[in-house]
Structure 1
Amino acid sequence: MPMSYFTIAGVQMQAPHHGDNTEAMRHRVDVLMSRFPQVQMVLFSELMPLGASPHHAHPLPSHIEQFFCQLAEQYRIWLIPGSMFERTEHGIYNTLSVIDPSGQVVARYRKMFPFRPYEAGVESGSEFVLFDVPNVGRFGVSICYDMWFPETTRTLAAMGAEVILHPTMTDTIDRDIELSIARTNAAVNQCYFFDINGAGAIGNGRSIVVGPSGDVIHQAGSGEEIMPIEVDFNRVRRERETGLRGLGQPLKSFRDRQVDFSIYRFEHGPSPFLASLGPLAKPQRTDIEEY
């Protein structure tokens, strides 16, 4: 009989710098597994291992990824060590590795929506990534700015994801908006949503874990925090069957829709309105006339 309960720990780590944080991450896992041995999966924030500079990009697989594979195998946990910049012949990607309890990389996901124009020089991934924990359930992954585009989470849910694992690196004044987006994504897709941010030099904290009714299970502060959360897959399945709080059934309604969202088709280019918005570029300072 499939297991219903599964314990996931989000790690909001306070990193002192944008550089090699791998040993500090190992220490956090050591402490976490000593205190909470029931944990079955550990999730760090975006770009935590090596920081946010593309100059640290390297090909995958790598010795850094192997370091985390050994850590996962040591504790027999599923491990998502945030993301790292991956160097390929086609450019640099912001890539997340999913490592299973035997220390094997079972999937890699490349961020679909780099934070342009600020995340310059990073290519966009194009493939959705889901993975199954045997006899437990289905997980989907996305990274940071991806969640601002509801089509990404909706696609994962439509492919069967019951939990979305979403490392982020937000150190800007829009974190409060992201908290609302995380709750909305969970509610409209009737899934758990783990939005794990960094702290210190790599984020302003306020990680959030949301249940399939949009309920906040836990919201972290701005400092270091470990968040072991037990999720209930039967809750996801029941609410998808009977509705959010016994009310709306958005996934079924989306499935049974009559409308065709033709605006998303690319064969004729973007809509005239979207084409009129101008280039995707940083805003520039407005000069003040001198009198």
Structure 2
Amino acid sequence: MKPFAIAGLQLDLKPSGNFDLVVKKIRTTLVRYPWVQMVVLSELAICGAGTGSAEPMPSATEDKLAALAADLGIWLVTGSLYEKVGDKVYNTASVINPSGDVVTRYRKMYPFLPYEAGVTAGSDICVFDIPGVGRFGLSICYDMWFPETSRALVLEGAEVIIHPTLTNTADRDVECTMVRATAAQQQCYMIDINGAGEQAYGRSVIAGPDGEVIHAASTEEEIIVVELDLDRVTRSRERGVLGLGQPLKSFRDAGHSFKGPESSDSLKALGPLKVPSRHG
């Protein structure tokens, strides 16, 4: 067994200005669960959805979070912050190790357009290694709606996908289904952490490599603590989901290739990406 303990913080958050609250909740979590090795925040937990908070990275906020991770000796996934690069803004998650080093940053590849206006799409997937444990992948919110993103992470060896999200809309039920489906299709752990309170609808989900729901949160604030066994990922991928289908091996061996969206006439016929009108 290769255990790794993660705390997902589904916090009751205001639309912005949550830094002090988040720090307090992280510290409280580590007092209650001192054996936790990683803390995961929800998407935009600290700054909220307004891009006016965007800062170049490394930023003062990221530096303070790095100092906190070092003080507590934990891995910390910051949920995400808005990152300013010239005249562009990215929705960016940082991964900080127990020494307080930012080991990687991930820019959300699929901003929730046309609603997440003014946010530029990132262009690269993100995987990182935790020594002695395994390889982790990172995606953010709407990225999950594109199975190509999770498959790309798994092709790079990801055994766990960390997925901060921020959802306060009627499609949350659909997303909860997607978490389980992604875990089964990719034979990995899927750690989906949503906000609560004024920011989001909660209902965070953690699913395992056989497609099982390990934890389904309520709509209220909740500290979700799970201990993963990464050997189970290897076993599922070798023997199949519930000892049955072996989708990753089948994908590897089939020899199929698929055309890209740019060559699809049916997708071209859908028209522009825009907010639906009242009478459209």
TM range (shorter): over 0.9
How many residue pairs match? The answer is 280
Q: Distance in 1 between matches of 2:154 and 2:59?
A: 31
Alignment partner of 1:281 out of 269, 274, 279: 274
The answer to whether the Cα contact below 8 Å between 1:60 and 1:87 also exists between their aligned partners in 2 is yes
2:148 is paired with a residue of what secondary structure? Answer: helix
What whole-Å deviation, never above 9, does each CA across 1:54-93 have from its counterpart, x for those lacking one? 1111110011001100110011000012101101015100
Alignment partner of 2:24 out of 24, 27, 30: 27
1:256 is paired with a residue of what secondary structure? Answer: helix
Deviation at 1:272, TM superposition (A): 1.1
Matches within 5 A, 1:168-247: 168-247=165-244
Q: What amino acid does structure 2 have at the position aligned with 1:279? A: P
The answer to whether the Cα contact below 8 Å between 1:11 and 1:45 also exists between their aligned partners in 2 is yes
Query: Is it true that 1:254 corresponds to 2:251 in the alignment?
Result: yes
Q: Distance in 2 between matches of 1:273 and 1:218?
A: 38
> Structure 2: where are the runs of 5+ without partners?
none
The answer to whether the Cα contact below 8 Å between 1:169 and 1:202 also exists between their aligned partners in 2 is yes
| Residue of structure 2 in register with 1:7 after alignment | 5
| Residue of structure 2 in register with 1:81 after alignment | 78
Deviation at 1:260, TM superposition (A): 1.2
Q: Distance in 2 between matches of 1:187 and 1:145?
A: 19
* % same residue: 52
Q: Distance in 2 between matches of 1:72 and 1:147?
A: 27
TM-score normalised per structure 2: 0.98
| Residue of structure 2 in register with 1:60 after alignment | 57
Q: Distance in 2 between matches of 1:260 and 1:6?
A: 36
Q: What amino acid does structure 1 have at the position aligned with 2:267? A: L
TM-score normalised per structure 1: 0.94
> Structure 1: where are the runs of 5+ without partners?
none
Q: Distance in 2 between matches of 1:215 and 1:247?
A: 14
Q: What amino acid does structure 2 have at the position aligned with 1:79? A: L
Q: Distance in 2 between matches of 1:92 and 1:27?
A: 28
* Aligned-residue CA RMSD (Å): 1.1
Deviation at 1:259, TM superposition (A): 1.7
Q: Distance in 2 between matches of 1:257 and 1:151?
A: 17
Change (3 A) 1:129 1:90: farther
Deviation at 1:202, TM superposition (A): 1.3
2:210 is paired with a residue of what secondary structure? Answer: coil
